[in-house]
Chain A
Amino acid sequence: MLSVRIPLYLNPGPGMKLRQYLKKRIVPEAVDRQVDRMRKVTGSLGHDPWGFQEDAAKIGMTLVRPIHDYWFRVDSRGEECVPDEGPVLLVANHSGQLPLDGLMIGYTLANRARNPRLPRAMIERFFPTVPWLGNLLNQVGAVLGDPANCARMLENGEAVIIFPEGIRGSGKPYRERYQLKRFGSGFMRLAMEHNATVVPVGVVGCEETMPAFGNVRPLARWLGVPYVPVAAPVVLPSRVLLRFGEPMHFQPDPEMTEETMARHVDRVRSAISDLIDQGLSERERVF
Chain B
Amino acid sequence: MSGSAENRPTLLVTGAGGALAQQVIQRLRADYRIVAVDFREEVWLGPDVASYRVDFQKRGFEDLFRRYRFDGVVHLGRIMSSQGTRMSRYNANVLGTDRLLSLSDRYGVRRVIVLSTYHVYGANAFNPALIDESYPLKSAGLSMDLVDSVELENLATIYLWRNPDLNITILRPCNIVGPGVRNTISNLLASHNAPVMAGFSPMMQFIHSEDMARAIETAYRQPHTGIFNVAPQDWVDYRDALEACGCRPIPVPSIPPMLPRTLLRALNMRRFPPYLMDFFKYPVIIDGRQFAQRFQFEPERRLETIFRYYRELRYQS
Contact = CB atoms under 8 A, between A and B. Distances in A.
The reply to whether chain A is a binding partner of chain B is yes
Given A131-B199, A132-B199, A5 B126 contact: no
A60 to B, nearest CB: 15
Nearest to B135: A148
Interface of B: 125-130, 197-201, 203, 233-237, 239-240, 242-244, 246-249, 254-255, 282-283, 285, 302-304, 308, 311-312, 315
Given A15-B239, A45-B303, A134-B200, A146 B128 contact: yes
A47 B242 contact: no
A51 interface: yes
A129 interface: yes
B315 A8 contact: yes
B interface SS class: loop
A43 B236 contact: yes
A129 B128 contact: no
Which of A9, A143, A146 lies at the interface centre, i.e. has the most chain B CB atoms within 10 A of its CB? A9
B303 A43 contact: yes
Interface in A36-55: 43-45, 47-51, 53
13 contacts: A13-B247, A13-B248, A14-B248, A15-B239, A16-B244, A47-B237, A47-B240, A50-B129, A53-B237, A125-B125, A131-B197, A131-B200, A146-B126
Contacts of B312: 5, 9
Nearest to B312: A9
A43 B128 CA distance: 18
A179 interface: no
Given A43-B234, A43-B235, A128 B246 contact: no
B187 to A, nearest CB: 18
Given A12-B244, A13-B240, 9 more contacts: A12-B243, A43-B233, A43-B235, A47-B236, A51-B283, A131-B200, A135-B199, A146-B128, A148-B128
A144 B128 contact: yes
Contacts of A132: 199
Nearest to A152: B130
A129 B234 contact: no
Contacts of A44: 234, 302-304
A212 to B, nearest CB: 24
A49 B203 contact: yes
A90 to B, nearest CB: 20
